[in-house]
Amino acid sequence: MGMGAFLLLYSVLIAVFAPSLLIRLTRRGNAPRLGVAAWTTAIASALASWVAGAALLAVELSHAIPASGAGIVGSCLRWLRGLAGDGVAVGVQIGLLASASAAAAVVGWRLVRGLITMRRRTHAHARDARLVARRVRGVDALVLDAGERAAYCVPGRPNVIIVTSSALEALGAHELDAVLAHERAHLNGHHPQLVAVLRVLAETLPRVALFSAGAAEVSRLLEMCADDAATRIHGRSALLAGLIALAGSGPAPAEAMGATSVAVLDRAGRLAAPLPAPDRGRARARLAAASVLLALVPALMAAAGVMWCPPVVL
């Protein structure tokens, strides 16, 4: 079995076993930014291993088939002779290459189509919000008259932060500033775009736990990242009070990231009782090691495969 097949096997192992490990490492939100890095590294590692494995299989097959003859007939003869001489190995490689290539094409097409659709929806939502919402002096957001208490952001041209009139009535000045800082952190960090990519990927491959769990966990961790950004400016108590005031108001629109749409209880507990610095340090060390390992193993395997492959003789 060549390195290409090993890379495809590695991508399967990451997809199967990485989610449970990463959930254990990130469930308490001790280091949310590194948690996001670990999840996205695992997802990128699995996809890159998939693509690199298919590419290396193609190169390995070009050497497995005897190089004689020319044209279409010669290629067919070389392929048949390869099957006759080492039928099992070459047959397995051909099957793996065909499966990986077909799956990559389908996933790539669905991912591009889903992202285009998602982008169209978010931009339309932002445009509609600018038309129906209003400006209020002293509020660094658009105010939408609605009975539900909500605050959320929508990427667009330009980006939009929405706060409902009911939320304005429920929030004090410091709480409102903290909640709006939370939403600005989402936009400044391009969190909605990352979440959109992961959600479309999860919808494309819903049975793959790495993608479905990854989309949910990264969304939760990004909310914690935005919480941390807001608390650095306005303090924990103001943001915690703001989350409590807005809790139970229902989910934000599908195209948006809302302040109280994801893991409100986990985030409230984290804000109310932050872990000691040594615990956070240990969590950072574990997540950093996991990210490095997830990125390094496929890179080394791909490099070894390229080095071991003899040059193609034309």
Chunked mean pLDDT (size 10), the chain, 314 residues? 73 90 91 95 89 71 51 48 47 56 72 84 88 89 92 90 93 95 95 92 89 95 96 95 86 79 89 86 93 85 62 44
User: What are the strands of the beta sheet with 142-144, ordered from one edge?
Assistant: 134-135, 142-144, 160-164, 151-154, 257-258
Which tokens in the block code for residue 122? 């978010």
**Residue 294, exposed/middle/buried by CB under 10 A (0-12, 13-18, 19+)?**
buried
**The pLDDT value given to residue 10:** 86
CA distance 10 to 21: 16
**The pLDDT value given to residue 308:** 57
CA distance 124 to 252: 16
162: phi then psi, degrees, rounded to nearest 5: -115, 135
Name residue 164's beta-bridge partners.
144
Confirm if 182 and 245 have CB atoms less than 8 A apart. Answer: no
What are the distances in angstroms from CA 304 to CA 30, 33, 291?
36, 31, 20
Buried b (16+ CB within 10 A) or exposed e, 63-96: ebbeeeeeeeeeeeebbeebbeeeeebbeebbeb
- Enter the pTM of the model: 0.83
